[in-house]
Amino acid sequence: MYTVSQVNALIKAALEQMLPPRMVVSGEITNWGVGASGHAYFGLKDESSLLPCVMWKSRFDKVKFEPENGAAVLATGNIDVYATHGKYQFYVESMKPAGLGTLQMAFQQMVRKLQAEGLFDEKYKKPLPPYPERIAVLTSETGAAISDISNSIFNRWPCARLFLYPVAVQGVGAAEEIAAAVRDVNRRNKHLSLDLLIVGRGGGSLEDLWAFNEEVLARAIFDSAIPVISAVGHEIDTTIADLVADARASTPTKAGVAAVPDIGEVMGRLLQFEKRLSSKAQWRFELCEQSLRTILASSVFRKPLLFVHNTEQGIDELETRLADSVKGLLEKAGAQIHRSYYAILRIEPHRLLGNKALAVSNLSNRVEAAIRAAINSRQMQLTARANRLEGLNPKTALLRGYSITTNKATGRLVATLEDVQTGDLMITELSGENLIESQVTKKQNRRNASGRQKG
């Protein structure tokens, strides 16, 4: 009798004896997944079978391309038993695409990813400065690229200033180092005042150039505020840095050509501008000279005092016309005054004024009499109303022996028994402003009292 563990151990030993220690398996990826630990779990299948596979994180991190379901691959590893679950698995040590190079597949996958995000769109590409003065070159300080770039630039544009930022251009960590350099230059550009960046290297194999296909460098170039020229030394293939950069040069030498203008061409254009400017200035000078001759030939310059004399004559004529006009107006005004004077004499104003004064005096006497009569009438009416008011004054009755009693607490007149209560203080006013203060000790209604007695 065997235990489960013993059976699994026997199967494991049999597999180790019967199967080769390492084998290459061709198949199509299925059920692809990566655990939280970073280990990859998947299967390889063909038309009729499925092989469970596992790839530890330390091995998976070295895979250049992105595995996905449906991808045909060649996986290298060994078969062993996972005793815990009693199943055999293919432990993959390395993996590459079947029929296509690993790096080429990784390149195509990265192109699709970044293209979908828009990193290659023309609308994001910055124009290169037409006349750059300060240019930074990010490349190896020992390679031929820096010499090719500097020679090309200085031959075409000697006034440029180059700044070398030495970086590794191949090997592990090269992409990260170049990306960090791009970001560092942008961060310090307020002080560096760079107009242009050239990022590149000389030629090499796809493996040598792979740093320029890494995502970290592509994103650093895309984020750069300074225009970037990608100058990777290869004529046929294209790197991702070429696709995302603002401009691409197939060689470092051509990068220098793309970066700066040809000073000979610039000087030629300047000479053309100089000739055109000189010709235009000469034409303008001749036109102004002709205009000046025309002006000098005018009567103003031939007889400069003629205008002054004509103006003086016009002023004299205006003065004469003004004097005549004023004289005519004065004569008309004098005649009008003369006619008005004799018209006033004809209406005898002294007699008219006497009649008006008499009428005013009579009217004044009539008004004065009417006012006195109105005042007397109003005074009589006022006296009669005053007498009536005096007769209505309740205090007038005090002179005839009457009195006025008020409740001291409420200040109201005592007219009925309900106006006071037993114990209330009362004020009785007599004639001559004499007052008596008393207290209610008893309330009695004699009418009601007599009625009860009769009953």
Over residues 231-258, the pLDDT tens digits come to: 987 666 689 999 999 999 988 999 999 9
Q: How would CATH label the architecture of 4-100?
A: Beta Barrel (2.40)
Closest CA to 151 of 260, 228, 269, 236: 260
Region 107-261: CATH code: 3.40.50.2300
> What separation in angstroms does the CA of 76 have from each of 51, 59, 199, 269, 341?
13, 11, 37, 64, 142
Least confident of 114-123, 228-237, 349-358: 349-358
Q: Give the residue with greater pLDDT, 97 vs 300.
A: 97
Q: Is a pLDDT exceeding 90 seen at residue 168?
A: yes
Average pLDDT over residues 169-181: 93
The pLDDT value given to residue 237: 65
The more confident residue out of 119 and 301 is 119
The answer to whether domain 4-100 and domain 107-261 are alike in fold is no
Calpha distance 413→395 (Å, rounded): 13
Using CA atoms, how far apart are residues 387 and 19, in angstroms rounded to an integer? 150
| AA letter at 251 | T
On the question of pLDDT at 455 being above 60, the answer is no
194, with CB counted inside 10 A (0-12, 13-18, 19+), is: buried
pLDDT of residue 84: 79
Contacts of 43 (CB under 8 A, 6+ apart): 29, 30, 31, 50, 51, 52, 53
Check pLDDT > 90 for residue 379.
Answer: no
Is 314 exposed, middle or buried, given 0-12, 13-18 or 19+ CB atoms closer than 10 A?
exposed
pLDDT of res. 261:
94
Kindly list the domain boundaries of the chain, sorted by start residue.
4-100, 107-261, 398-454
Number of other residues whose CB lies within 10 A of the CB of residue 29: 20
Tokens of 53: 């596979």
Contact 30, 44 (CB under 8 A): yes
* Mean pLDDT on 326-352: 80
- Least confidently predicted of 99-113, 208-222, 386-400: 386-400
Q: Which residues pair with 406 in a beta bridge?
A: 413, 427
- The 10s digit of each residue's pLDDT in 425-438 is 888 888 777 888 88
Q: Is it the case that residue 361 has pLDDT exceeding 80?
A: yes
What pLDDT score was predicted for residue 234?
65
DSSP 3-state helix, strand, coil percentages of the chain (rounded to 5)? 55, 20, 30
The encoded tokens of residue 9 equal: 């151990």
pLDDT of residue 248: 93
The count of other CB atoms within 10 Å of the CB of residue 241 is: 25
Residue 235's pLDDT is 60
Q: Is the pLDDT of residue 288 over 70?
A: yes
The distance of Cα 24 from the centroid of its chain, to the nearest Å, equals 62
What average pLDDT does the chain have?
A: 85
Angstrom CA distances, 202 to 141, 146, 244, 400, stand at 12, 9, 19, 142
β-pair partners for 82: 87
pLDDT at 120 over 90: yes
CA dihedral 223, 229, 232, 234 (to 10 degrees): 130
Percent of the chain with pLDDT over 70: 91
In the predicted model, is pLDDT for residue 100 greater than 90? no
Give pLDDT, residue 406.
Answer: 87
Cα(438)–Cα(430) distance, rounded to whole angstroms?
13
| Euclidean distance between CA atoms 94 and 82, whole angstroms | 20
Give me 105's structure tokens: 């597949």
Q: 123-142 pLDDT, tens per residue?
A: 999 999 999 999 999 999 99
Give the pLDDT band (50/70/90) at residue 404: confident
Residue 95 CB neighbours (<10 A): 27
What confidence tens digit (pLDDT) does each residue in 51-70 have? 999 999 999 888 877 888 87
- Highest mean pLDDT pick, 22-36, 90-104, 336-350, 393-407: 22-36
Paired residues of 316 in beta bridges: none
* Type of residue numbered 261: P
Element (H, E) at 395: none
Cβ atoms of residues 368 and 361 within 8 Å: no
Give the CA count within 13 Å in the CB-facing half-sphere of 417: 9
